[in-house]
A and B are shown apart, each in its own frame.
Chain A
Amino acid sequence: MKKFRKWICVLLSALMVLGLASCSGGGTSEAAPPEGAASGAASGEATTGGPSINVILPGNIEGQLIKDSIPDFESETGITVNVTEVPVDTLNTKITVELESGGSTADVVAYPYEWIPKFADSLLALDGYISEEDKNDIAQYAWDSASYNGSILGQMYVVTGMIMFYRSDLLEDAGLEVPTTWDEYVSVSQALTTDDMYGTVVTAKLAEEPVGMYLNYLYQNGGDILDEEGNVILNNEAGVEAMQFMVDLVYEYQVAPEAASTFTTTESLNLFTEEQVALCPNWSYVWSVSQADDSPIKDKVGMALLPENKEAGISLGGWVMSAVGASQNPDAAYQFIQFMNDTERQVRMAVEGGNTPTRTSALEAAEVKEIPLFDVMSEALATSVPRSKYPKYDEISNEIAIALSGSLAQTGEPQELLDTAAANIEAILAS
């Protein structure tokens, strides 16, 4: 019996250690408040006496660019800003917990705009705050994307979409034109595929991001997830053909790496910058990465619209900044959002972060006009479809991601996997 007690003691202590260890893991790394900010100050009055706001920003390039502009905002408005920087991977968790807990101290949150329908109930409607001047200066697609149920719930501070980045030197050497249709895309990719070079690349990891690539093919093929009445049409001929095309690029034409089902655009960008892929459909930020001084493909990259099959269309990606409904300082929160999206800041985001401005005034700035990316992007974005039009996009995209990664790993046929996805989406929308 003594021995038994001994082992129970060992078991309990081990459990305690494991419990503590698991409690300490998985937390988000939060950046310290900026110098001079009242650390830990609740939303409301800062120690300096002026108003203060708490802002949750993602730990990415754009988040950093916003952080860099905060001192200007503070000196211009006298509002103190406390920043919590959250890694992109855990941002969803952080904001969900903040907004659902009811005890949130955040005033402004920045996040991918497709989460708007999910957070809509906890966000402040900005319709009454936005000036006529801003309404006219900012592109309509940006307002549409940030709206839900007829209310504007944020401002898009990053808009992006996929375009085709290609190795201009290789196309020139082979005497080939940039592909504009799916057929040309296949033939050019085949011509450029060699032992050390893939013609193109497909991304299909089980995650939200690669779904964007499928949606591009889907829209180009005249398909959609839902029709105008809200019926699921994902598994119709257009939807299946689009997914089959992605599978064929890998297995039938053999112009893209077989590891597609483990790729997001990060992996495809790596292959592109390491000179292993000739045609790389990817997000607009690839331009600034490929033009960096240490990039092996600097000055060898061209940009074009994605090839289309039946019509032009891309899925709009982007980030939005919203004010929290429970904010103690809604005016200061809106001031922050407006400041970070004014013409000066958009120009900076464009020049330093490669982000396409949504303001006409920013697009017309001389330093923006110098960058060739924005012409192509503006043209591409004009045909963009916002994801925030789908209610429960997260769940819908998860179903598509399962079908996509399964198709690319050949665990099933696109038709069969999309039928399952469509049935599940119907159930999700009905619940």
Chain B
Amino acid sequence: MRSKHTSRVAVLLILPAVVLILLIIAYPLVYSLFSSFQLADGGWGLDHYQTVLGSKEFWSAFKNTLLFTAGIVSAEIVLGFIVALGLQKLPTHVRNVCRGLMIIPLLISPVIASYEWMWMLNDQYGLVNQILGAIGITPPLWLVKPGWAFFSISLVDIWVSTPFVILVFQSALASLPKEPYEQAELDGASALKKFLYLTLPYLRGPLIVVLIIRTMDVFRIYDAIAVLTGGGPGTATTSLSLLAFRTGIDFGRMQQSSAMSLLMMIPILIVTAFYIRMIFSGEGEETRKKPARFRRK
């Protein structure tokens, strides 16, 4: 009796959210799926996919996007991990203050952050160049040469998003169980061993969550590129999102843009499926092996 009533209330409560999600996610997705197959003459076909897959711009943007994703995500994970471990060693009140300060980049809109960095990296009046100049380093023209432009865009994204990674790792570190560590202590395990055999396996879950979210996010990188370089010089920093936006909005080729966006989803889906498999395989290993390793002799 109770369960029937509760489930009806539950359905009613989640209904608005489901309708909203259907409207803002499912409808545009289905619409763009249809439009990507719709031809100019009113028929249906794969022409738009053929055009996109046959264009050099698409593959160049695809390569750039992969490089951005690999570079930015790995930098964020390494940096986030190091900072989170460092924070763990600080006294609680200092840690809280640091954590509060680190959230600031997350609160700033990525577009605003990109504009801030654009000015900080400006070759005439930029703060970064002033500081480098003051310590005797000749600064590069950050946004002029393709390599530096790539680096500058990555820097902005890392600055904006690493705090998120730190927060996830930090909360995972804070919730680690004490017993295995006490046990390891009794067994005389070194700090390195504790890190390798306890901390790292325990962080597997959060690491995969961070990997999934950040990979999906960076794969859609747009703001920093649009503000800092507009995709240039040449096409050196044009990402898939920027190309899809230009194709659809600037050039009015909505169907081609839809095809491009849907093609973009494939690598994201593959990578996500791979990560999720990692979680499943990890689950078994964790429960089987870990207690055995520190079993009292």
Q: CB within 8 Å of B: which residues of A?
A: 1, 3-4, 6-7, 10-11, 14-15, 18-19, 23, 25-26, 92-93, 96, 100, 118, 205-207, 257-262, 271, 276, 392, 394-395, 398, 401-403, 405-406, 408-409, 411-412, 417, 431
Is there an interface contact between B229 and A271, defined as CB atoms closer than 8 Å?
Answer: no
In this assembly, does B209 line the interface, its C-beta being within 8 Å of a C-beta of chain A?
Answer: yes
Q: Indicate if B105 sits at the interface (CB-CB under 8 A).
A: no
Tell me if B116 is interfacial: C-beta within 8 Å of chain A.
no
A398 close to B209 (CB less than 8 A): no
Name A11's contact: one of B143, B212, B280 (CB within 8 Å). B212
CA distance A257 to B144 in the complex (A): 11
Complex contact A4–B24 (CB within 8 A): no
Closest to A25 in B: B109
Interface of B is mostly: helix
Which residues of A have CB within 8 Å of B231? 206
Residues of A within 8 A of B143 (CB): 259, 261-262
Q: Which residues of B contact A26 (CB under 8 A)?
A: 111
**21 pairs across A/B with beta carbons < 8 Å?**
A7-B205, A7-B206, A7-B209, A14-B209, A14-B213, A18-B217, A19-B25, A93-B249, A205-B229, A207-B230, A259-B124, A260-B144, A262-B143, A398-B246, A405-B230, A405-B233, A406-B236, A409-B144, A409-B146, A409-B234, A409-B236
> For the complex, would chain A's binding face be called helix, strand, loop or mixed by DSSP majority?
helix
**A285 to B144 CA separation, bound complex (whole angstroms):** 27
For the complex formed, measure the closest distance between the CB of A27 and the CB atoms of chain B, giving whole angstroms.
11
B45 within 8 Å of A by Cβ? no
Contact with A along B6-29 (1 / 0, CB 8 A): 000000000000000000110000
Contact, CB under 8 Å: B234 / A405: yes
**A3 contacts which chain B residues (CB < 8 A)?**
205, 283, 286
Closest CB-CB distance, A13 to chain B, in whole Å?
Answer: 10
In the complex, whether B80 has a CB less than 8 A from a CB of chain A is: no
In whole angstroms, what is the CA distance A26 to B227 when docked? 13
Pick from B110, B123, B209, B232 the residue with the most CB of A within 10 Å. Answer: B232
B123 touches A259 (CB 8 A): yes
B230–A402 contact, CB under 8 A?
Answer: no
Partner of A206, one of B123, B206, B208, B233: B233
A392 to B250, CA, bound (A): 10
Closest-by-CB residue of A relative to B202 is A3
Contact A15 B213 (CB under 8 A): yes
Q: For residue A118, which residue of chain B has the nearest CB?
A: B252
Among A15, A206, A392: residue with most chain B CB under 10 A: A206
State how many angstroms separate the Cβ of A70 from the closest Cβ of chain B. Answer: 28
Q: Kindly identify which residue among B24, B208, B286 contacts A23, using a CB–CB cutoff of 8 Å.
A: B24
